[in-house]
Amino acid sequence: MMHKIAAGVLLLAGGVTVLCLGVSYGAYAIYTALLPLVGDAPASGIIAVVFLIVPVVTYVILAARAKERAKQVSMMSVVSAGLGLLTTFLTRRR
């Protein structure tokens, strides 16, 4: 039983690490792409809006709508949906 718990904890820690590294590399890639276009401070602001403010606002909106329908919205589903939309938006613009 302890082996399963330890394996689950390690799997969770590894998954969180991979997720954080992926988001960090994605943010840095977008920052690097925006840097020659808009400069240092605006590129940082755009990244902050995309990776901090948009998921929080999306979560608040979906949580408010979920109360009407009596459903629970998890933060991970909102963040993954937001990143999926961002990825789709960025790949279609090329």
Band of residue 24 on the pLDDT scale cut at 50, 70, 90: confident
CA distance 36 to 9: 42
Counted domains in the chain: 1
pTM above 0.85, yes or no: no
**Rounded mean pLDDT, 7-14:** 88
CA distance 36 to 4: 49
| Backbone dihedral region for residue 39 (phi beyond 0: left; psi -120 to 50: alpha; all else: beta) | left
> Which residue segment(s) compose the domain that 33 sits in?
2-92
Q: Which amino acid does the sequence have at 36?
A: P
**Residue 38's pLDDT is what?**
92
**Residue 51's pLDDT is what?**
85
